[in-house]
Amino acid sequence: MGGKKNQIHVVPNEDGTWANKKPNAKRASSLHQTQAEAIDSARGQAKREGNTEVIIHGRDGKIRNPNTYKRKDDPRKTKG
């Protein structure tokens, strides 16, 4: 199964807001007033879509923290 991971980038906008954006997308998936709101939204979207990596950028644009999420109903997920 595996396959290629989807990605959602949490990136700053020039106006101080934060956007969730997929690679090669012309527009953001969603816009948020704070980075924390954008991260929460991106994580929720990643969990719904499954096999999706959330890549968080800092205000300087550098990657801070990547995380991969699988859907809750993913049979590959182990309990622990």
Q: What is the pLDDT along the chain (80 residues), one digit of tens a residue?
A: 456 789 999 999 999 999 999 999 999 999 999 999 999 999 999 999 989 999 999 999 899 877 777 776 655 554 44
Predicted TM-score (pTM) above 0.75 = yes
CA 74/CA 1 separation, integer angstroms: 11
CA of 71: how far to CAs of 29, 32, 40, in Å? 19, 23, 15
Selection from 30, 2, 1 nearest residue 18 by Cα: 30
Contact 10, 45 (CB under 8 A): no
Structure tokens of 42?
């991106």
